[in-house]
Amino acid sequence: MTRNERVRRAILFQRPDRVPLFFWNRDQREGDVLIHSLTLDADGASEWGYRMRSLGNGTMGQPEAAVIPTWEALDTFRFPRIEPERRMAGAADFVRGGEGYYLLAGLGITGFNLYTFLRGFGEAMLDFIAEPERAMALMDRIMDFEMGLTSLAAEAGFDGVHFADDWGGQESLLIAPALWREWFKPRYRRQFEHAHRLGLHVWFHSCGHVDDILDDFHEIGVDVMNVSQPNVNPIEAIGARLRGAQCFLAPISYQTVSISGTRAEILAEARRLHDTLGAADGGFIGYVEEYGCMGMSEENYRACAAAFRALNGPSPVRR
């Protein structure tokens, strides 16, 4: 079974030969998924105009300043252009070099997360009440751009498209679920239907407590849902509702177990996540990310990969 087929079978509940792995920021070829960014960021600046300020701890940091701090600034804002030839210059080599792997097109920071970077978090949280028409017009420009990138991904031969849009805090969703369903759910549905028409799977990453809208994401077509903070979500309740229907991508918590746990505790957590979210015929992909900035040791990084591999019997990680 090729890596590509293994991932597809996990997504479609067609009995992969083992649990697939996705290594995010290191050692990608040890896993089954390769990701290639379609963004044109350069010199520390996003093509949308924001710059990330380092917090000095190895994390991605945070935007230095809002790009569109006032609605008047939108009048002179230069939206990025698709520019297919420049944007896809390295895609053909990536696709050829990734033969046998499942190939994922990364869109960078997307959707509402990108909106908050453009407007500033505080303004963004007020916009949808104070200026809903303007806010939704800007959201639609963002999402239309992402749909354009999705079209390029399909033309280039990718298997799926990856959205990264954080919706949760440590304890709850950032906005009321009813408002999310009114404002954002129809827009995501449009994006996901576009991807599916093109033959692409939809992968969606979201940090934080997002349990309130996971059923909605499943309903509107997310094929692989990355619940990236299992420690702040009710995994058992999620599994009771969606196990066997939704494919999940999940890490060993990089706030708790993967940072301070023993090898045995990491293995136990991998088993818990798999048995709670995955089904006998698939529906689960192990996610491995090196998180030294959070205090993860090299030993624990390797232990996370080994734990997911051990779900199907011993299979040593290449050194």
pLDDT at position 293 is 85
pLDDT at residue 267 tops 80: yes
pLDDT tens digits for 177-198? 999 999 999 999 999 999 999 9
Yes or no: say if 11 and 223 are a contact pair by the CB < 8 Å rule. Answer: yes
How many folded domains does the chain comprise?
1
**Domain region containing 160:** 3-309
Contact criterion met (CB below 8 Å) for 150 and 143: no
How confident is the model over 5-31, as pLDDT tens digits? 999 999 999 999 999 999 999 999 999
Taking CA atoms, 205 is separated from 141, 159, 310, in Å, by 21, 17, 25
Q: Is residue 178 part of a domain?
A: yes
Alpha carbons 181 and 45: distance in angstroms, whole number: 32
pTM for the model:
0.95
Distance, CA of 160 to CA of 175 (rounded, Å): 28
Could you tell me if residue 318 is inside a domain? Answer: no
Region 257-275 average pLDDT? 95
Q: Report yes or no on 316 lying in a domain.
A: no
**Is residue 201 situated within a structural domain?**
yes
The distance of Cα 197 from the centroid of its chain, to the nearest Å, equals: 20
Determine, yes or no, domain membership for 37: yes
Give the pLDDT confidence score for residue 314 in this predicted structure. 36
Q: Is the pLDDT of residue 58 over 90?
A: no
User: Is it the case that residue 313 has pLDDT exceeding 60?
Assistant: no
CATH number, domain containing residue 45: 3.20.20.210
317 within a domain of the structure (yes/no): no
Residue 120 lies in a domain: yes
Phi first, then psi: what are they for 103, rounded to 5°? -110, 125
Report the share of the chain in percent with pLDDT over 70.
98
pLDDT (average), residues 146-159 = 98
Mean pLDDT over 167-181 rounds to: 95
* Predicted local distance difference test score (pLDDT) of residue 196: 98
> Which tens digit of pLDDT belongs to each residue from 194-235?
999 999 999 999 999 999 999 999 999 999 999 999 999 999
Top pLDDT among 79 and 43 is at 79
Has residue 49 been placed in a domain? yes
Mean pLDDT of the chain: 94
